[in-house]
Amino acid sequence: MSQKRNLFFLSFPTTFALLVMFAAPMLYILIHTLREDGLTYFVKFLTDSFYLNILKTTVSIALRTTGILLLLGYPTAYFLARTKSKLKNTMMIIILFPFLVSAVVRSYGWMVILGNKGLLNQFLLALGLIDTPLKIMYTSNAVIIGLVHLLLPYMILSITGVIQGIDKNLEYAAASLGCNPLRAFFKVLLPLSIPGIISGCTLVFTLSMTAYVTPRLLGGANFRMMSTMVFQEVNVNFNWGLASAISYILMFVILLFLVIFNFATAGINQRVGGQKNA
């Protein structure tokens, strides 16, 4: 009982701050929107193909970004967790370095690289691999590239911490029982690292769904995602009701995908004990 009381008092300041500065304003805006406009803008969004296509684009980019980051982040996280190389600290600094640079600056850097006269096209033209510049800027591919660069550290750090907590003797035990390294990975390490994968994918997916700066700069004015639509409705069209509806629909979709993802991985997570025995 005493331990539960201590945990309550330790978590109370953060919980109170979240309720006052996050939950309460959101609830107030929702009630105000429903009083002023009812479900008008919610129905408008869900029945208009224009807005539904924007939602589809947002979800597609978030899922693709998450998949790419998982493929890139897991091997890197495994190396950082298991290596004894002196390069480990250097690699960690390189991975964390993007946190020191604004997302705006990083996006402008990618504009210089991916533009029609950017470094990438100039390099490919000089090698004779292409005859005309590739159209990368102001497309969904440019947005995904920017988001991958922006969010890669989150995926790597989430998985690295979990892999470091897995006893390496478990892999040695699997090898002693006849498992080759590949089979030991799929039978031992991968299932035990599922909690880190879930954490990384959850964080990356949520940040991709709500990203604004990267889609706005690399996608251009004609490329629309849910976050850019909220900004446009508030600052251009001055339609606070529709902006509120878009925001709550975006939040609901994120929560829906997270619930589905957690249910899909719950069996594996429970089977491996939620990392308790690792």
Contact 56, 220 (CB under 8 A): no
Number of Cβ atoms within 10 Å of the Cβ of 164? 14
Candidates 80, 239, 268, 242; CA nearest to 158 is 80
The maximal CA–CA distance of the chain, rounded, in angstroms, is: 72
Question: What pLDDT, on the 0 to 100 scale, is given for residue 275?
Answer: 46
Give the DSSP letter string of 86-117.
Answer: THHHHHHHHHHGGGGS-HHHHHHHHHHHHSTT
Architecture of domain 49-275: Orthogonal Bundle (1.10)
pLDDT of residue 267: 63
Question: HSE-up of 278 (CA within 13 Å, CB side)?
Answer: 25
CB half-sphere exposure, 3, CA atoms < 13 A = 0
Instruction: Say how many Å lie between the first and final Cα of the chain, rounded.
Output: 28
Cβ–Cβ under 8 Å, residues 157 and 270: no
pLDDT, residue 271, reads 60
Residue in 198, 206, 208, 211 with CA at minimum distance from that of residue 158: 198
* Cα dihedral 62, 39, 21, 10 sign: negative
Tell me what pLDDT residue 96 has.
Answer: 83
**pLDDT attached to residue 278:** 40
pLDDT for the residue numbered 125: 87
Closest to 245 measured CA to CA, from 85, 46, 24: 46
The Cβ of residue 95 has, within 10 Å, a number of other Cβ atoms equal to 18
Tokens 């900004």 belong to which residue? Answer: 231
pLDDT of residue 153: 92
Tokens of 75: 């091997």
Return d(Cα 244, Cα 230) in angstroms, integer: 8
Mean pLDDT per 10-residue segment, the chain (278 residues): 72 83 82 80 87 92 95 92 82 83 87 88 85 87 92 92 85 80 83 87 92 89 88 84 88 88 69 49
Whole-model pTM: value is 0.84
Nearest to 153 by CA among 261, 77, 217: 77
